Structure 1
Amino acid sequence: MLIRWGICSVGKISHDFTVALKTLSPEHHQVVAVAARDLKRAQEFARTHDIPRVHGSYEALAKDQEIDVVYVGAIHPHHLRLGVLFMNLGKNVLCEKPLAMNLREVQELIATAKRNNVFLMEAVWTRFFPASLEISRLLSQSAVGEVKMVRADFGVPIMQTARSVQKELGGGALLDIGIYCLQFVLMVYNGEKPEGVQATGVCLDTGVDEGMIVTLKFSGNRMAVCICTIAAELQNEAVIAGTKGTVKIPAHMWCPTSLMVNGVETQYPVPEPALPLNFINSTGMRYEAEEVRQCLLEGLKESSRMSHADSALLAEIMDEARRQVGVVYSQDNQ
């Protein structure tokens, strides 16, 4: 089955996603159209990636009858509007994380998908890496005993980037990178809702969080700690501590290519890109793209590995963490 992709927005992440698709069989995945608000940028993107059709508006992309799935690579304040636009015209959607700005918006997107009987998935690419699949397998076999503590940190100095610090662009550490730490914890604990959420953080003058620490308490005396910052480089690792051992992602926890199980390391390299990438290990986005294809082959409207319930719980926890730290976006008041 061939999946015909449309690319919405032509920023850095859309470039990397399109490069990642080229590592898959052209009999299974093809990018057939791209759209941007700036037609010239869309045309340049199309030339770079050999995409046959170019649209100068997202509305035109939504009406393109030759597309099976739209990849939404726009910044997250636009996810709700664009997701609704595409799904209302019958398009399946893979939307970059965070799926939306808050739980209310996430629920609206999920309801729109169900109303139109289309596929919708939040592009939390981490969950589909071979290393992540191996983690789930190990935990299902109780390879480290009962999990008692999970720790994940993600910090990179990106405050010079406008979209990272400006509130109207959805800036802030939690929504941009802290989400990776939280989703990892929820993956380990099988989507269980925590009994308690405690968050502390520091905010910039723009009103977004520069850094945040979120502590989660789960049933059975199990806990997790997530640390994120856009002001400094952290270890960017994740550790699962059980009663009989540990599983560790030693680096790049959001796009893992190695895993340490009780001190023994195994590598899971991603394919080499055909074009230069903007972000590390970006060809690993191939795994989420293939998940979309497999779901469509099976007639599914959501992925069991990153379900609608997973996205809703993730948004609910981030809403509560932001409330405690005092980060409020305009979308929270609508």
Structure 2
Amino acid sequence: MEKALRWGILSAGLIAHDFTTALRSLPRSEHQVVAVAARDLARAQDFARKHEIPKSYGSYTELTKDPEVDVVYVAVQHPQHLGAVLQCLAASKPVLCEKPLGVTAAEVREMVAAARARGLFLMEAIWTRFFPAAETLRSLLCQGALGELRVVRMDFGIDGVDDTVTAILQYPGGLQASFSCSITTELSNSLSVYGTKGKAEIPSTMWCPTELVVNGKKTEFPLPKVADAETFNYLNSIGMVYEAQHVRQCLLQGLKESPVMPLAESELLADILEEARRQIGLRFLQDRT
């Protein structure tokens, strides 16, 4: 009988709350949260009480050394991802790390190299890929249902993201993709894919989609139900169950990385973002000269 995957939660912040709440909606025979760590023990203890977690730690090191933790969910702020992930890997813990995996492409490559050197699972938590609507769209594209792809458009305008930026990506074969993000205006938050045989669209909340429109036909993908008393900080956070279930399946199969969100794509995403920053003249303290 397959045993439950025992999670350790690194951080007691808002996204950690949502992920833990999502995990606790899944069968305990498959997923259990056994420990939480924060830099302040009182915060970890409060988080543990709220989520009925048996162990709380006042340091990340204590959690990574816990033999009952099978996998660590890293939810610290992204400038601290590198140190936290490397610490987990050094303790032989598989890791699901919140996005972005690293501040720079060099940080991402350092984490990827460490995971591969130790033969440990590492995945960037790009939760969007695991929503059924996104999986259905990916399947349609793989089947050639839209013909040859020509244009992909996406925008993300909501408080909390970068100031207004638009990037255009040119792919071999003539495909062009563009994305816009803005903190200063509300955008449609949609994704559109145009091919020689039609169009597919996620009309809103494309980062946590619940519907897909293909050539005018809409299909809805309801989210899992949660207890009325459960609350989340972010929209559709119950959808984190999809990536959690995927991680469990990967580990049960002995995989060292996800076939849906492979490490090479985390490196590619970091490269794209770094080039975009270079072109607009944005540098971080972590950028190497």
- State the TM-score, normalized to the length of structure 2: 0.97
Greater alpha carbon shift after TM alignment, 94-103 vs 137-146: 137-146
In structure 1, give the amino acid aligned to 2:19.
Answer: F
Aligned mates of 2:38, 2:62 — CA distance in 1:
10
Verify: 1:332 aligned to 2:283, yes or no.
no
Q: Deviation at 1:157?
A: 2.5
Aligned to 1:270: 223
Aligned to 1:84: 86
In structure 1, give the amino acid aligned to 2:215.
Answer: N
Aligned mates of 1:140, 1:23 — CA distance in 2:
32
Q: How does 1:247-258 map to 2 (within 5 A)?
A: 247-258=200-211
Verify: 1:236 aligned to 2:238, yes or no.
no
Verify: 1:212 aligned to 2:199, yes or no.
no
Q: Secondary structure at the match of 2:110?
A: helix
Q: Deviation at 1:23?
A: 2.2
In structure 2, give the amino acid aligned to 1:144.
Answer: L
Deviations 1:216-251 (A, max 9, x none): 000111100100112221100000001111110011
Aligned mates of 1:44, 1:233 — CA distance in 2:
35
Verify: 1:321 aligned to 2:279, yes or no.
no
Question: Structure 1 regions of 5+ residues with no counterpart?
Answer: 159-171, 174-209
Aligned to 1:32: 34
CA contact (8 A) 1:19 1:273 kept: no
Aligned mates of 1:306, 1:283 — CA distance in 2:
19
| Correspondence for 1:139 among 125, 138, 141 | 141
In structure 2, give the amino acid aligned to 1:288.
Answer: E
Deviations 1:120-155 (A, max 9, x none): 000000001111110111112111111100001001
Aligned mates of 2:37, 2:226 — CA distance in 1:
23
In structure 2, give the amino acid aligned to 1:315.
Answer: A
Question: Structure 2 regions of 5+ residues with no counterpart?
Answer: none
Aligned mates of 2:286, 2:234 — CA distance in 1:
28
Aligned mates of 1:294, 1:41 — CA distance in 2:
31
Aligned mates of 1:249, 1:299 — CA distance in 2:
33
- State the TM-score, normalized to the length of structure 1: 0.84
| Correspondence for 1:223 among 170, 176, 181 | 176
Aligned mates of 2:279, 2:140 — CA distance in 1:
34
Aligned mates of 2:24, 2:67 — CA distance in 1:
22
CA contact (8 A) 1:39 1:56 kept: yes
Verify: 1:54 aligned to 2:7, yes or no.
no
Aligned to 2:266: 311
CA contact (8 A) 1:99 1:311 kept: yes
**What is the identity percentage for the equivalent residue pairs of Structure 1 and Structure 2?**
52
Aligned to 1:71: 73
Verify: 1:291 aligned to 2:246, yes or no.
yes
| Correspondence for 1:107 among 93, 106, 109 | 109
Aligned mates of 2:5, 2:123 — CA distance in 1:
15
Q: Secondary structure at the match of 1:95?
A: strand
Aligned mates of 1:326, 1:26 — CA distance in 2:
48
| Correspondence for 2:43 among 37, 41, 44 | 41
Aligned mates of 1:55, 1:14 — CA distance in 2:
15
In structure 2, give the amino acid aligned to 1:49.
Answer: H
RMSD: 1.0
